Amino acid sequence: MPSYELLQKDPSSRARLGRLTTPHGVIETPVFMPVGTQASVKALDPRELIEMGTQILLGNTYHLSIRPGMEIIGQAGGLHRFMNWSLPILTDSGGFQVFSLAKIRKIKPHGVEFRSHLDGSLLFLGPKEAMAIQRQLGSDIAMVFDDCPAHESTPQHVRSAVDRTLRWAAECRVQERAPGQLIFGIVQGGSHANLREECAKKLVEMDFDGYAIGGVSVGEPEPEMMKAVEYTEPHLPEQKARYAMGLGTPAQMVELVARGVDMFDCVLPTRVARNGTAYTYSGAISIKGGAMKADFRPIEDDCPCYACRTFTRAYLRHLLNVNEILGLRMLSVHNSHMYLRVMADIRRHLAAGTFGEFRTAFIAKCRPSKRIMDARAAAAA
């Protein structure tokens, strides 16, 4: 039985309504996955995440394999039991660390040699190792191990990264997996249309359960990021899920859904919350600003999240300015809820055939501010 079911296509764009079946539950798409790199979404607990409508979380192979280590997670009975999460989990393979830890790693034919960012000890991660760790974690969706080139890479470097990504994907494809575990391939190719097409077509020949668009949100301008998705999406099979890795702002997600993307993850909801920024349907606002000092409205008037039902902007500003943890927690609650609410609205409008109208109205009101774009760039660094 196919893991992904295409339910409906939008007549005004390439947006899709779908359903992805995994061992720990069915996921309605388009979907946003809160990021739990260290087996926890920062500042949020599982009860809150479920109440918000979270369908799936993301974890990271590289970080979890270092701390707490696979021996501890294995003794716990896998990642789901260790973190007491009963719904689906997607695990990144650690391939992004090939990019983000460039100063402490060496790329070799069968993987990447790292110096641990914690103690400098020598580590090795390649296709076999990444898939073995993800099998032990027991994630519902495992990502292949890939080479993610930096935005400023030369064409020759991107060419080499695509070749490695394809070679490593083939190795990942034949590794043993956990029962029912899905495996997604990752398309690389930078901003080069021909490399994106080549990588996508060759990955499709390998017949993965779904496909991710990688190498985006790595410091490139937004128009270039959109182009990378546009270069890739037409070459991915209609009957498989598409995942844009590490993206994005609410406005970007709406635009990427319109370009045929089904799945998203991003650290921004909790990261900008820690800086005092809140996302709303009218754009991003700074709760720490002086204008909020005597503003006794909620963060967003019609938002049903706990933070908006309970606290005022003035109170949250006070908490943030005196470094009380409750302040950043409540902004994290609101921002995460807002991301999930946007996805729920997208699914509702796709089902009703009104996504085009929703997209136009949303983008007109919710353009990302310079501060948010700067935070996005920092998140990719």
Cα gap 231→162, rounded to integer Å: 15
Neighbours of 122 (CB within 10 A): 8
The answer to whether the Cα torsion of 252, 257, 259, 261 is positive or negative is positive
In contact, 120 and 137? CB cutoff 8 Å: no
Q: What is the CA radius of gyration of the chain?
A: 20
Task: Let me know if 92 is a catalytic residue.
Answer: yes
Convert 16-37 to b/e letters by CB count within 10 Å (16 or more is b).
bbbebbbbbeebbbbbbbbbbe
Name the active-site residue from 45, 207, 265, 295.
265
DSSP 39: S
3-state DSSP assignment of residue 100: helix
Task: Let me know if 140 is a catalytic residue.
Answer: no
Return the residue matching tokens 């991301």.
Answer: 339
* DSSP structure string for 190-231: TT-HHHHHHHHHHHHHH--SEEEE-S-SSS--HHHHHHHHHH
Cα gap 208→315, rounded to integer Å: 49
DSSP 35: B
* DSSP structure string for 259-302: TT--EEE-SHHHHHHHTTEEEETTEEEETTSGGGTT--S-SSTT
Return the residue matching tokens 């921004």.
Answer: 268
Beta strands 4-9; 16-22: pairing state: antiparallel
Name the active-site residue from 10, 45, 92, 295.
92
Residue 347's identity, in one-letter code, is R
Query: Residue 208: which of 183, 234, 178, 241 has the closest Cα?
Result: 183
Catalytic residues: 92, 265
